[in-house]
Amino acid sequence: MAAHNDIGAYGETLVMERLAQIAPVAPGQVADVRFMDCEIEVKAARPSRYNGRNGDWGYQFSLRRPGHSELRAPVVVLVCLPLTCPEYTAFVIPADKVAGLAKIAVPLNVAEYEGIWAPYRERWEIIAEFVGGN
């Protein structure tokens, strides 16, 4: 469990560092990160075998689990952390797009991924849509 928490904390740090280039950030009040007045839920994952076809390798993000709180932020950032390099890929998704989902899986080769979440790859500007209560 400690490694899982470390990965989550690292993902939050990466998101905060990225957003701090634009404006001040802080730990969230109801989610992981607060950018201006926008709360952001951050989910980070290392590659693992997930329950896809043929036990594919990729990034799996748990959005909801029984007995845990629901997403309370308007934006979710999924951070894909590869094992071999410091580069990462983020998917910046409005929370209403993941409503009702318990998990999201993204294939290992995120650069070539063209699935449902591809339009949100590195879409940091989406956060601006939710600043100021929009």
Q: Residue-wise pLDDT tens for the chain (134 aa)?
A: 445 578 899 999 999 999 999 999 999 999 999 999 999 999 999 998 876 556 678 999 999 876 556 788 999 999 999 988 778 999 999 999 998 899 999 999 998 999 999 999 999 999 999 997 65
* pLDDT at residue number 4: 58
Strand spans (E) along the chain: 25-27, 33-35, 38-45, 48-49, 57-62, 75-80, 89-94, 103-107
Q: What residues have CB less than 8 Å from 45, skipping those under 6 apart?
A: 7, 59, 60, 61, 78, 79, 80, 81
Total-model pTM: 0.90
Give the CATH number of the domain where residue 10 resides.
3.40.1350.10
Euclidean distance between CA atoms 133 and 59, whole angstroms: 31
* pLDDT at residue number 1: 43
* pLDDT at residue number 10: 94
Containing domain of residue 124, as a range?
A: 2-130
3-state secondary structure of 101: coil
* pLDDT at residue number 72: 87
Half-sphere CA count of 102, side-chain side, radius 13 A = 5
81, 82, 88, 92 alpha-carbon torsion, rounded to 10°: -50
* pLDDT at residue number 86: 79
* pLDDT at residue number 18: 96
Euclidean distance between CA atoms 86 and 13, whole angstroms: 13
* Total number of domains constituting the chain: 1
Euclidean distance between CA atoms 47 and 20, whole angstroms: 27
